[in-house]
Chains A and B, each alone.
Chain A
């Protein structure tokens, strides 16, 4: 399935719903959308990966890039990822220690605007 992207606001968060496959071919579109959001002023972004069927290292690279971009403007990036299939990828790459991972958009938004692991 092709990549699908849709955005909506949720309180002071901007939620980007991602669906389909994020790979070396589609990841540039995800990168562009994330850059657009930050340039448009979004500071607290939730990337909802619930409907992602496939995520590879290129997609992880894009998410790390977005995290850096948002931190540079005192923003936050939270990921919604409940599927074991995807969580395993974050664990293998040790990125589960870099990203704030939540199992639902509600939990991500309720988690406040500070990224748990990145208080320093």
Chain B
């Protein structure tokens, strides 16, 4: 199992780097071409979310991204922002904040700020794009991990 790890300071400029690395590693792992765009977008959304959480909580620690190719190609994005107002759902039920914002999307976004819209849309995109996604608190508290995976072809040509 090959693993690539990437850590970056919570600056928007680095999110693109994370996207590029994720797609490069996914391609090398043998992820079918038609899924690469999904991985690019989902990794970007998860990293943007982490950067936004760090910034809104004044956390300067690094955001961590792990890319693994085993039976499936897995992307894990870990933020170090403590659970707080930036989380939409209850910290006890982190899955909520991926599911809940999708429901009121039919509500006109007129009353929301751009940041609210971006946050909602980011969660909606993650939930809508990725079949296998979990959001779990980081062990020991102080952050969350977004874990996503995509299928890899069985007779792998992985090196």
Contacts and interface: CB of A to CB of B under 8 A. Distances in A.
Q: Is the interface of B mostly helix, strand, loop or mixed?
A: helix
Contact of A58 (B19, B40, B118): B118
Contact of B41 (A24, A31, A56): A56
A28 B123 CA distance: 20
Interface in B29-64: 37, 40-41, 44-45, 48, 51-52
Nearest to A62: B114
Interface in B75-128: 105-106, 108-110, 112-122, 124-125, 128
Contacts of A61: 114-118, 121
The size class of the interface chain B forms with chain A is 20 to 34
A57 B118 contact: yes
Given A57-B118, A58-B118, A61-B118, A89 B41 contact: yes
Interface string B3-14: 000000000110
B127 to A, nearest CB: 9
A55 to B, nearest CB: 9
A93 B15 contact: no
